[in-house]
Structure 1
Amino acid sequence: MPDPQSGTSATTPPSNFNIANALTVLRIAGVPVFGWLLLIDGGADVSTRVWSFVAFSLLMITDRIDGDLARSRGLVTDFGKLADPIADKALTGMAFIGLAIIFDHWLFWAVAITTLVREWGITIMRLFIAKYGVMPASQGGRIKTTMQAGALALYCLPLEIWDTTASDITMWVAHVLLAVAYVITMVTGVQYVIDARRLRAEWFAAQDA
């Protein structure tokens, strides 16, 4: 039976070759380009730091666009479900590591490493738990992603090089965004683990019923 929204058969899965997945692949391919722009001359080149901000912002925007396209046009695929979080984590991971190298401060390194351990750990856990049921992203997780992206984008700008009042204020905005994002990251990480344990327990209970 045709799907009135997508115009395709409701029983026929969408092809992996679609615009939503193409944007996801583009985001993955853009990660090394972004990293190169960010780390040219150890992050001391003003123009390439600005371009790294542009690249990071555009690549993060594709995350929102590909998700909206996949849902609105019935283009959700198994490939997209796997590749989309990998693309996100690769991009933010490159940003965290690159910025930690540039700022070279123990606190930024600590935030970067613990955040990435949480991000990749939860992503891997969700892949393993998928056989027991779907564990969707929480509202807290979406807020975390938005604030994290905003903070990382601001850090990409050469604020410490410009050294103006405006850049100092912007840097503090980035600090606050990252601090709040970090707290939400850790809290939602714990919640995801609790949800995964409950989902697994409910699946086994259903099998025994």
Structure 2
Amino acid sequence: MTGVPASATGGTGRPTPRGKLGAAAVDQASLWNIANILTMIRLVLVPAFVVLLLQDGGHDPAWRAWAWAAFAVAMITDVFDGHLARTYNLVTDFGKIADPIADKAIMAAGLISLSALGDLPWWVTAVILARELGITLMRFWVIRHGVIPASRGGKMKTLAQGTAVGMYVLMLTGPLATLRFWVMTVAVVLTVLTGLDYVRQAVVLRRRGLAAERAAAERSEAAAR
């Protein structure tokens, strides 16, 4: 036992140069950077949000206000953790996996809870969640050909969904209740339209990737002759 982690020896049993060992130590410590901490907070807020929302049968205005506060904090951390990670080079493998999980978890928790309480039609929840799951699977489907970037429409969709769900969490009445209906309508429309656009991008990306692979194979065959 040398006391040096296998990752720091490169798997050879010999310690790496000091500079590389230092870099490895920095990489390990980077797991606890501010961006990842915000993501972890958002993950913790998911069950807390659900518990607050469902207190006293789910129809107590005070508990709903606390639930809205938890949801709002989660949405705010979603804005800042990605920005901080990109700006200060704090991107980690943990963040790449946990950030989208936290995003979808808080939104799914809100939609399902609101539908279970009878405040939001189940078909709205089904459309939004089916779109999110479908796009996630589609990203994996084409990942070897490239990455589908987040579009401006996708960001608007996320903003509309967050705003609409937040308004439904609050027990609004009168004109505000009417307004939240239309905000949710916009969110659903953007959800469908951006989903169709992602499908188009995925098909184009896959076709280009397959064409590039065929061209590379033909060049290899020609060079081997």
Matches within 5 A, 1:153-164: 153-159=166-172
Give the count of matched residue pairs.
191
Relative distance call for 1:60 and 1:104 in structure 2 (3 A) is closer
Q: d(CA) in 1 for partners of 2:187 and 2:130?
A: 15
Query: Are the counterparts in 1 of residues 119 and 168 from structure 2 also a CA contact under 8 Å?
Result: no
Does structure 2 conserve the Cα–Cα contact (< 8 Å) formed by 1:89 and 1:120? no
Instruction: Give the Cα–Cα distance (whole angstroms) in 2 for the partners of residues 178 and 104 of structure 1.
Output: 12
Q: How far did residue 78 of structure 1 move?
A: 2.9
d(CA) in 2 for partners of 1:39, 1:30 = 14
Aligned to 1:99: 114
1:129 shift after superposition: 2.3
2:132 is aligned, of 96, 101, 119, to: 119
Report deviation, 1:13: 6.6
- Structure 2 counterpart of 1:163: none
TM-score, L = length of structure 2: 0.79
Residues in 2 aligned to 1:42 and 1:120: alpha-carbon distance in whole angstroms: 29
1:7-18 equivalences under 5 Å are: 15-18=30-33
CA RMSD of aligned residues (A): 1.9
Q: Map of 1:43-54 to 2, 5 A cutoff?
A: 43-54=58-69
Task: Answer yes or no: is the 8 Å Cα contact 1:85–1:123 preserved in 2.
Answer: no
TM-score by length of 1: 0.85
Corresponding residue to 1:26 among 29, 41, 52: 41
Aligned partner of 1:70 in structure 2 is 85
Alpha carbons 1:118, 1:186 under 8 Å: kept: yes
Cα separation, partners in 2 of 1:142 and 1:180, compared to 1, 3 Å:
same
Which blocks of at least 5 consecutive residues in structure 2 are unaligned? 1-21, 216-225
Matched, 1:36 2:51: yes
* Deviations 1:41-89, CA, capped at 9 Å, x for gaps: 2212221100001110011000000011011001122322222111111
Is contact 2:127–2:188 with CA below 8 Å preserved after alignment?
A: no
Q: Percent identity?
A: 46
- State the partner residue of 1:146: 159
Give the structure with higher Rg (CA): 2
Query: CA 1:121/1:203 → structure 2, altered by over 3 Å: closer, same or farther?
Result: same
1:125 and 1:13 map into 2 onto residues whose CA distance is 30
Q: For residue 104 of structure 1, report the CA deviation from its aligned partner.
A: 5.3
CA distance in 2, matches of 1:13, 1:206: 35
Task: Give SS of 1:74's match.
Answer: coil
Q: Aligned with 2:206: secondary structure?
A: helix
Is residue 177 from structure 1 mapped to residue 190 from structure 2 by the alignment? no
Structure 1 gap ranges (5+): 1-7, 160-166
